[in-house]
Amino acid sequence: MHRIIVWLRNDLRVHDNSALNWAINKGIKGTTKQIIPVYTFDPRFMRNKVEKYGIYKCGLTRARFLQESVQNLRANLQDLGSQLLVTQELPEVFLPKLILKGQQNSIVFSQEVCYEEARIEQSVATEIKRNSKVHIERVWGSTIHHIDDLQMDPENVASSVYTKFRQNTERDIVRDCLPTSKLGQLPFIEGDVPKAIQDAMRFAPSLMDLGFSEEEANTPKDPRSSLEFVGGEDAGLERVKYYLWETKMIQKYKDTRNALMGADFSSKLSPWMACGNLSPRYVYWETKKFEQRFKENDSTRHFISELFWRDFCHWYAYCHGNGIFYEYGPLDKKGVPQWRVDQSVIQRWRQGLTGMPLVDALMREMNQSGFMSNRGRQIVASYFSLDLKQDWRYGAHHFEEKLIDHDVHSNYASWNMIAGIGPGKTNLFNVVKQSYDFDADGEFIRTWVPELRNVPTDYIHEPWKMPFKLQQQCETVLGTNYPNPIPSRYTTKPSHQSGGSGLGYVKDY
């Protein structure tokens, strides 16, 4: 008997799944094989606070999406004649219990590269090998390029900027997607099933099981959300089909990607890619098929470039390890502002009460829906770290809690770049100019900041310039109905003009 335990984490799918594929193709000739897929809702990554920052690791919207993703994976595995064991135990505690004594055992999982995840992998390996001889197989499956196919040494990404990375990898081969598992290829346990395994086969944690209150668990999804995200491989594949093949919106991606409102201004595939409902390689090859069937244009090229940006963040984290979480980044760049930790300022930013309408609208959108546009993320992160000069790590941890599409590589690498502690130039975003440029009529602001719904468009971006009498007429009295802005460069100069930041950065957008 050969038992193969497939430990699933950020690869919650049956298509193009390296771990499942390895399990299907490995085994001892003439020996019966069991394949046991497992997912653990690791409490260290759920409703657990990062003590130093007082911020949860995982918020409600992402927990709900993850819960839906696991349920969908279980259903898809059952359709293939398999099962999914689900538990809330630590993987280093639960996985050793599955070792079949006196038999051949293997465990396979997709390799992660960030510090916490790698440390847990090592803990699992240590505990499993403590009392038994088990083959441990790490496979690669979370990037477009396989690690063995990069012509550029991954270690060189450490000092590279994205443009150089892209130039050095665009000619590297991209492997075909692995075959999707078929009925009968994932033999589970036959006959008597131990009670502990039966329990894990049935266990489907509620949001309250995951640490949320009954009130939180019953909170409906916000109807203002740009899209109703539903977790799971099935929903992710449907979104690819819709965005590429049914609407062909990808042909307009470059023109629409900077919008703030609407379901289709961007692909919005990131939540499904973050937890592995979608393989990045599958999305890449579907895009290349689209280009062949219709035509390649600036938008399809730009879309693929964004997929490679995701890869770049992964390799950046791979190179720097724990350094991406350091105060001044892995390069120890001390030329940026000395970070402040003003809890009142941090809390106002987190809650969307800064007095800067666009920032507040964007933060509230993220807090309520779990999503924020890429443009929006750059704006609020730049404002937090470069204008308010607050310790960027508080901002990154808040993103980790609230974003439905959080993945550690993209989040922390992007914050490194925005805060000016990564390689390359630093772009300073002018919040008010961005507001005029991308929400000219104030529709987005009024949607998420209803206190400003009666404010004339002439003042919607800079309400502190509004005469007091008009504030009263609009029922938006600063300091009463809506906060005065946190003191910054925007309240002391004509802020809708580009340039003149005085902070020494490359460009004031």
Known binding site for FAD: residues?
253, 266-270, 303, 405-407
CA 144 and chain centroid, separation: 16
DSSP secondary-structure letter at 139?
E
| Cβ partners under 8 Å of residue 494, min gap 6 | none
Main-chain phi, psi angles of 122, to 5 degrees: -65, -40
| Cβ partners under 8 Å of residue 370, min gap 6 | 59, 61, 62, 65, 225, 229, 271, 402, 403, 404, 405
Residue with tokens 């919106």: 249
- Give which of 346, 359, 348 is closest to 444, Cα–Cα: 359
* Helix (H) or strand (E) segment spanning residue 105: strand 104-110
Cα–Cα dist 155/178, whole Å: 26
> Which parts are annotated binding residues?
253, 266-270, 303, 405-407
DSSP secondary-structure letter at 378?
H
| Cβ partners under 8 Å of residue 115, min gap 6 | 321, 322, 325
Cα–Cα dist 449/362, whole Å: 9
CB 185 within 8 A of CB 24: yes
